[in-house]
């Protein structure tokens, strides 16, 4: 019996179940959570905390790459960045909903633009919002990697700077990037009138982007035709410029496959250069890049 237990105390059957089952279970579970709660706003913080605890716990237990294990200090710093970013994002979303929501609702009604299929089951509307939002994000993200001024203005280098990539980095972005990160789903919500489906789509985005950054041994076959797996997203975080200029979909890889930016290859190391900037260095990346920065657009 002991022979069947690996060094981390995990039986092969558990590893296999996690390898194939974790991503689909979390995605289906995210949609179920929103539908079961009947209130997408309430589901979001539950999913946020639950995903961090589960994915980071699994990474500490059975990481795919031991060399990417984060020290307690590193993890707590990352957690602090993510919590701060989430708190500011929550306030921004509240503000734009309050300021723009009623006016846009009235505009759509007046001009017959209320096209969102609200009569469809919520479990179908949520993936629809998810795929539409990711279509917008694909192009914004591609622009960040194509134009130096967009890369700098959004501080996207900060998100790429981590060398011990893990699930917690799903939300570790420069505050300057808040606008472009929130914009795609805001357009789905406010211009198309998706309402609660947009928040539900954000829960689904949260789940897949967490998985896409996770330092876990996960399957790519099958699911990787449409959705971004961690193998594909780690490649986007590569320190090699040509590798980094691929796989722009953080949750939906289908857009990369359709628009010719898909790449499937192993990733040696992540980051923006041979050294990882300090926290202050990350904050200053929009203004000053380290001399060894390799993945910034020229
Ligand atoms: Zn990127």
- What's the confidence (pLDDT) of residue 223? 97
DSSP string over 81-108: HHHHHHHHHHHHHHHHHHHHHHHHHHHH
pLDDT score at 38: 85
Ranges under pLDDT 70 in the chain: 1-8
Q: Is residue 197 a contact partner of residue 129, using CB atoms and an 8 Å limit? A: yes
* The two structure tokens encoding residue 268: 């040696």
CA–CA distance, 194 with 201 (Å, rounded to integer)? 10
CA distance 291 to 298: 13
* Distance from C-alpha of 279 to C-alpha of 1, rounded to nearest angstrom: 46
Q: How far is the CA of 251 from the centre of ligand 1 (A)?
A: 12
Distance 246 CA to ligand 1 centre (A): 9
pLDDT at position 114, please?
81
100-141 tens-digit pLDDT: 888 888 888 888 878 899 999 999 999 999 999 999 999 999
Q: What is the pLDDT of residue 84?
A: 92
CA distance 233 to 270: 10
Distance 256 CA to ligand 1 centre (A): 13
Record the tokens describing residue 141, joined without a space. 């993200």
Residue 141 CA to ligand 1 center (angstroms) comes to: 6
CB count in 10 Å sphere of residue 270: 27
The pLDDT value recorded for residue 195 is 87
Q: Which of these, 187, 193, 197, lies nearest to 112 by C-alpha position?
A: 193
Q: Which residues contact 277 (CB under 8 A, 6 or more apart)?
A: 161, 285, 290
pLDDT at 7: 54
The Å distance, Cα 297 to ligand 1 centre, comes to 11
Ligand 1 mean position to 107 CA, how many Å?
35
**What pLDDT, on the 0 to 100 scale, is given for residue 2?**
43
Express each pLDDT in 195-218 by its tens digit: 889 999 999 999 999 999 999 999
In this prediction, residue 15 carries a pLDDT of 92
């Amino acid at each position: 019996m002991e022979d069947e237990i690996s060094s981390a105390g995990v039986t092969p059957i558990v590893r296999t179940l996690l390898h194939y089952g974790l991503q689909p279970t979390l995605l289906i579970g995210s949609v179920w959570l929103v539908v079961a709660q009947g209130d997408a706003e309430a589901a979001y913080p539950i999913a946020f905390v639950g995903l961090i605890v589960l994915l980071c716990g699994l990474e500490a237990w059975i990481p795919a790459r031991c060399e990417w294990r984060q020290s307690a200090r590193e993890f707590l710093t990352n957690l602090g960045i993510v919590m701060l970013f989430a708190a500011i994002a929550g306030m921004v979303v509240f503000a734009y909903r309050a300021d723009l929501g009623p006016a846009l609702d009235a505009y759509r009604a007046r001009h017959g633009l209320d096209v969102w299929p609200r009569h469809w089951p919520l479990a179908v509307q949520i993936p629809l919002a998810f795929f539409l939002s990711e279509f917008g994000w694909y192009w914004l993200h591609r622009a960040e990697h194509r134009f130096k001024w967009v890369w700098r203005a959004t501080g996207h280098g900060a998100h790429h700077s981590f060398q011990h990539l893990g699930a917690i980095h799903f939300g570790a972005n420069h505050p300057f990037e808040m606008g472009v990160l929130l914009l795609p789903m805001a357009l789905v919500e406010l211009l198309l009138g998706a309402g609660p489906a947009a928040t539900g789509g954000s829960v689904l985005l949260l789940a897949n982007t967490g998985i896409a950054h996770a330092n876990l041994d996960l399957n790519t076959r099958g699911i990787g035709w449409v959705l971004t797996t961690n193998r594909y997203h780690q490649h986007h975080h590569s320190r090699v410029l040509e590798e980094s200029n691929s796989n722009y979909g953080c949750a939906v890889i289908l857009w990369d496959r359709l628009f010719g930016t898909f790449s499937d290859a192993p990733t040696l190391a992540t980051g923006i250069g041979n050294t990882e900037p300090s926290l202050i260095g990350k904050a200053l990346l929009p203004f000053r890049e380290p001399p060894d920065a390799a993945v910034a657009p020229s």
